[in-house]
Amino acid sequence: MKMLLDGQWVDRDKKIDVTDPFDNSLIDTVPAATKEDVETALAAAVKGFEITRRMTVYERAQILFKTAAIISDNLEEFATTIAQEGSKTITEARKEASRCVNTITASAEEAKRILGETIPFDSFPGGEKRRGYYYRFPIGVILAITPFNDPLNLVAHKLGPAIAAGNSVILKPATVTPLSAVKLVEAMVQAGLPPQAIQVITGYGHEIGDALVSDERVRMISFTGGVEAGKHIAKLAGIKKIGMELGSNSPVIVWKDADVDLAAESCVSGAFWAAGQNCIGVQRLLVHKDIYDEFKKKFVARTKQYKIGDKLKDDTNMGPMITEAEAIRVEKWVNEAKAKGALVLTGGKRKGALYEPTVLEKVPKEMKIHCEEVFGPTVNLYEIDDLDEAIKEANSLPYGLLAAIFTSNVDVAFKASYELDCGGVMINDSTDYRLDSMPFGGVKYSGLGREGLKFSLQEMTEPKVVCFYLPQI
């Protein structure tokens, strides 16, 4: 595949191999961009904004509606690309492709709802003869940096609202999973988006990233990735808007009156979806002592039923991690916890990039697998008794994306929803639930700002006040 720079699909002599992490087979190559390509992308994006800012709302919306239709008509092709280049099974990939259709469609709909309002200038003495309003305008060049774990839909979450708002975009997809992103941009251009409106630059972040994020021509950075990368970007960015989703260490409270079967089934899926490489995946399960043994038995039994292996087979439940190096890291974290007294209830074995779904208990709190984001197919069980202590424990780490609680008591649900320190609380669902139009983001080290189409549009536009002085009224 090629890069899209200054309206042209271009290639380079230096290539980056895109491989299937299941068997390391070569899928395709993409160009390895240079700093000269960065300058081309930046200059072209500025010119592209002169086009996008003048496009009507109708034009933007129609392009997005047509893009969604193209993806829908080629859903299996998109899903296969997701599954081949990343960690998702074909079943998981089909769901992501379907969600992408919804994300782009909702972006088109929200393009028509970028509203302003009138301002009562006569609400203070001296404003009697003034009338006015504000409207929202696009901010300019948006740099979108996307991760590997949702290589299509998380790209759509940045491109959809950026185009809906009238901005131009520079897209830097994850180096290991760029193909889905390129296919999405191809669909947008096919749907009528002027190719100058979007730049797709593929390359290694350590070679081109700093030049992109530090340039003053970029007016907003929308980044999804790790905390350390987020800190680095924040230091370099300068005076521009920043939206960041930086992951989490998601806690789930399973209270004594919970539906144990529902909680176990939901949290197994929540822990091991996409091989656990999921920013809202379940990592800490805080289970009431009265139901702990029952829950543990059902949770472990359901985990043992998981079939891991070939992602393209319909009966595979979980595929490999994105690289063998990542699987080795998770293996190391688990072994460190075992050496300090943690018990492995199931799993704990690795073969290449495949790491078994793993359930731990009695994990010391100083262990990395407790206090950092594991981003792998492991989950920890903890026994609790007191709700206040459970909430305190859930809030104890420097993350706060989503949290969850299973309970049949509405008072318990409301207490938890107000006291859990995070961007969203799921009731009788695992943390691994997201509606693409809801405000999505976190507190503390989990990020800055909110995604979700309406909310992304607020981030990607600015209000401008217009005031008329009318001495004759």
Catalytic residues: 245, 279
Task: Give the chain's end-to-end CA distance (angstroms, integer).
Answer: 62
What is the Cβ-side half-sphere exposure of residue 306, based on CA atoms within 13 angstroms? 31
Q: What are phi and psi of 81, to 5 degrees?
A: -65, -45
Chain centroid to CA 166: 22
Q: Which residue has the tokens 């002592």?
A: 289
Measured between alpha carbons, how far is residue 164 from residues 71, 159, 193 in Å?
A: 17, 8, 11
Sign, CA torsion 321/326/327/329: negative
3-class DSSP state of 96: helix
111, 77, 117: which is closest to 94 by C-alpha? 77
Other CB atoms within a 10 A radius of the CB of residue 78 amount to 26
The string of DSSP codes covering 155-171 is HHHHHHHHHHHT-EEEE
Sign, CA torsion 166/167/168/169: negative
3-class DSSP state of 15: strand
Buried b or exposed e, range 342-369, using 16+ CB within 10 angstroms: bebbbbbebeebbbbbbbbbebeeebeb
